[in-house]
Structure 1
Amino acid sequence: MKIIVVGGAGDMGQVACETVAIDPVVTQLIIADRDIDRAQTLADKIGSKASAVSLDITDKDSLLDAVSKADIVLNTVGPFYLYGPPVLEAAIAAGKHYADIADDWEPTLAMLDLDEAARDAGITAVIGIGASPGISNLLASAAHAELDAVESLHTVWRGGSGVPPVPATPEEAQPSAAIDHWIHNLAEPIRLWRDGRYEMAEALETFEIVYPGIGPGQVWTCGHPEPITLPRAFPDITNSYNIMFARPGLIEAARAVRDRVRDGEIDVAQGSKEFLLSPGRRWPEAGEIPAFPGVFAYAEGTKDGAATRVAVTTNVLPEGEMGEITCVPLAIAAGMLARGEALNTGVHAPEGALDPNIFFERLEPFAADLDGKPRLEVSIEAM
């Protein structure tokens, strides 16, 4: 099976390439990138099954020609509002399966609009198969399955875990692309599923959830694809948000910056630097954080006629940094596509295309030793 990784020499793409290459179902790996030197260096490192090609994905003809040489297309090139739909369109035109790590809700909608074209082409496209979205969606599938009827189905993650210490001087404040992306998302309207319909809202709405066996904690809404896609797979649910928990001081620092960016006083780059320089965003000044797992799904509904809440987390998160937790899931999805294990043709989020049991089983070798713990940790209690 031939796989092409578009953007394969980038920080995310390299992890995807190295992980895909160890799957025995993959016979050839094409590393496509505009930086041919980096792509060739990676191909040499991986070995005989890998080759490098120069690719400018803004050149439609070159893109179509490149993806036509593979069986499966993996897209790691952001921002996805620019480079998600065009690469998927090329994969559909070439009749090739597709997967990506898109994490913005706007391009998610644009790519879902290509569902009929993908079905007509007989291909499966899995969009947003990273950590969140990705692992989070499949945890939501597992949480949904625990209840007889589901009212609310949310994906939850810890905010601020990758934020560096407060710099000593403004010159030392160097925001990462991830922080810029976060501040941008907080400043823009978000789309969520509330009262059985899609609704535009402002990020950082505050409410509380109760994790079974742990207790209550404050959470805040943010913009992500999960509330766009989960109601498509589970039309019975009434509410679906992507929410984060964090130290309150961190959220207040982000809110202050977000408001200024939203109101046009500063741009995202300036806002990100101001956020890094905010003295109250780190412990202990920022306050305590709930003892929740780093990523989980949370559902409320009924089971055996009683109001019930359930949370599902996983003990098989890939070890490593952002590249591993994002792109190992992408590589697992590629292997499932290569083995014909997709649940449907068309364009789907992970919950519509991948079997959670197979996915988490394949994820296990990339995690720390389970030491007797289950792959999925289900916590459930009456409300």
Structure 2
Amino acid sequence: MRLLVLGAGEVGQAFAKAVRLFHGFSDVTIADLSQEAAARAASLCGAQGMKVDIEDAAALEAILRRHDIVVSTIGPASRFAVPLLRRVIAAGCHFVDVTDDPLPTLDMLALDAAAGAAGVTAIIGCGASPGISNLLAVHATSQLERTDRLLTFWGSHGEEKESLGNGVTAALRHWVEQISMPIPVWRDGGIVSARPLDRVEVDYPGIGRVSTRLVGHPEAVTLPRKYPSLQECLNVMNFSGYVHAALDRAARDVRTNGLTIDQAAARLAASLDERRGRFRPGDAMSYVYHGVSDALRGKKWLPPLGAVAEGWRGRKRMVVGAALNGTIPGGTGFLTALPAVIAADMIVTRMIKRSGVATPEQLIDPEAFFFALWPFLVDGQGASLSTDAAAIAVTTAPLSPPGRQSRITAARA
């Protein structure tokens, strides 16, 4: 099939590197508003590069009709996701994207009937988080007979110098957006509006109770579509006290100090650069204070990406943790792009046949997905996993005290 990749930024370039390893596409075109960026990404996989303005409806339609499947790495989702999906459906192309904004995600899911009628398969939110995290959540719930509470999470695992990006990236701008305004989560059988950055306690088997912060992401509102009996579904993040303090400041800059998202993101980027050792005098004390505080409290770290399910196995209340059994080299761009490549390959090879708009947990077989992901995983020394090592590390434990839930500020949406 003929593949069109929209966007040649960090994720688009990573996609070009990954797609070379899959053989279900007869030819690949990479398009971007910048001809130079498109050509640079295309050179990574022997593809054709071209310039396109996706807001030029006529030009985009002409390009779409020359392809069978479209992968979008373009943002922000709040501006582009829904209009682009409408045009893709009209052109009759299959579709994969990496949208990580909950509100556009819900709007895209509302196009399910239109996509189904057109025979289009659209898998949205298929990156690292959402994407891998959703399928780890499915694996965690499969270990229980009934799941009441489900959390997805991501963070630094204590290695923030390597895990945080440089400068004001699109991802960092999105991060600021999702911590500075009310966010949708699932509680008591419905979507409610919650306050980001509230503390959430996570009981992870083998690690113990970990303090995390609430952040807006699609998993919290899409996973309950598969598990409607959930009483609570959240997405949380796990970073050092210094980073959480920097996020608190960024949120206040937007909510009370009148800064724009871009201005607050620039200040946050400077704070995160200081985390790498380039301190301004005013922040050095904060860095030292939070570092000492984390050490004295014995701060615990969750895996970098995973899910926790709480529920019942027989008459026992249990908690299950699921995380990747290793890491995927190549940075956050490759970690985001690789799941989209796998999903696109599953569509073109007919492993996924159902049409409509869906998130990964609704259409993708987790076993097949992690089988495809397994060759990319490496252990702590950077070596490939042994042939008898699973792609997912699963831990379970009795849950005590029973039914403990986060105390987050929420209102019915």
Give the TM-score normalised by structure 2: 0.85
AA aligned to 1:252 is A
Give the conservation status (yes or no) of the 8 Å contact 2:220–2:233.
yes
Q: 1:292 to 1:160 in 2, by over 3 A?
A: closer
Paired position in structure 2 for 1:91? 88
Paired position in structure 2 for 1:234? 227
Q: 1:257 Cα shift?
A: 2.9
CA distance in 1, matches of 2:92, 2:341: 20
Secondary structure, in 3 states, of the residue corresponding to 1:93?
Answer: helix
Paired position in structure 1 for 2:103? 106
CA distance in 1, matches of 2:138, 2:109: 19
Secondary structure, in 3 states, of the residue corresponding to 2:24?
Answer: coil
> Are 1:179 and 2:163 matched, yes or no?
no
Paired position in structure 1 for 2:359? 349
Which of residues 288, 291, 313 in structure 2 aligns to 1:284? 291
| Matched residues, number | 373
Which of residues 359, 366, 373 in structure 1 aligns to 2:376? 366
Give the TM-score normalised by structure 1: 0.91
Give the conservation status (yes or no) of the 8 Å contact 1:317–1:363.
no
Paired position in structure 1 for 2:262? 269
Give the conservation status (yes or no) of the 8 Å contact 1:245–1:290.
no
Paired position in structure 2 for 1:36? 35
> Are 1:65 and 2:62 matched, yes or no?
yes
CA distance in 2, matches of 1:317, 1:344: 31
Please give the per-residue CA displacement for 1:119-159, whole angstroms capped at 9, x wherever unaligned. 11111111111111110000011111111011001101115
CA distance in 2, matches of 1:163, 1:178: 15
Q: 1:356 Cα shift?
A: 0.7
Which of residues 305, 319, 332 in structure 2 aligns to 1:322? 332
CA distance in 1, matches of 2:293, 2:243: 6
AA aligned to 1:54 is K
Paired position in structure 2 for 1:6? 6
> Are 1:304 and 2:310 matched, yes or no?
no
Paired position in structure 1 for 2:150? 153
Say what the alpha-carbon RMSD is for the aligned residues: 2.1
Secondary structure, in 3 states, of the residue corresponding to 1:26?
Answer: coil
Q: Gapped runs of 5+ residues in structure 1?
A: 166-172
CA distance in 1, matches of 2:64, 2:159: 34
Give the conservation status (yes or no) of the 8 Å contact 1:160–1:250.
no
Secondary structure, in 3 states, of the residue corresponding to 2:357?
Answer: strand
Q: Gapped runs of 5+ residues in structure 2?
A: 272-282, 379-383, 400-413
Give the conservation status (yes or no) of the 8 Å contact 1:143–1:298.
yes
CA distance in 2, matches of 1:265, 1:90: 36
Q: 1:210 Cα shift?
A: 1.4
CA distance in 2, matches of 1:273, 1:102: 22
> Are 1:25 and 2:24 matched, yes or no?
yes
Which of residues 96, 115, 118 in structure 2 aligns to 1:118? 115
Percent of residue pairs identical: 34
Paired position in structure 1 for 2:215? 222
Q: 1:219 to 1:71 in 2, by over 3 A?
A: same
Which of residues 397, 404, 409 in structure 2 aligns to 1:381? 397
Give the conservation status (yes or no) of the 8 Å contact 2:322–2:395.
yes
Give the conservation status (yes or no) of the 8 Å contact 1:124–1:344.
yes
Paired position in structure 1 for 2:253? 260
Q: 1:162 Cα shift?
A: 7.9
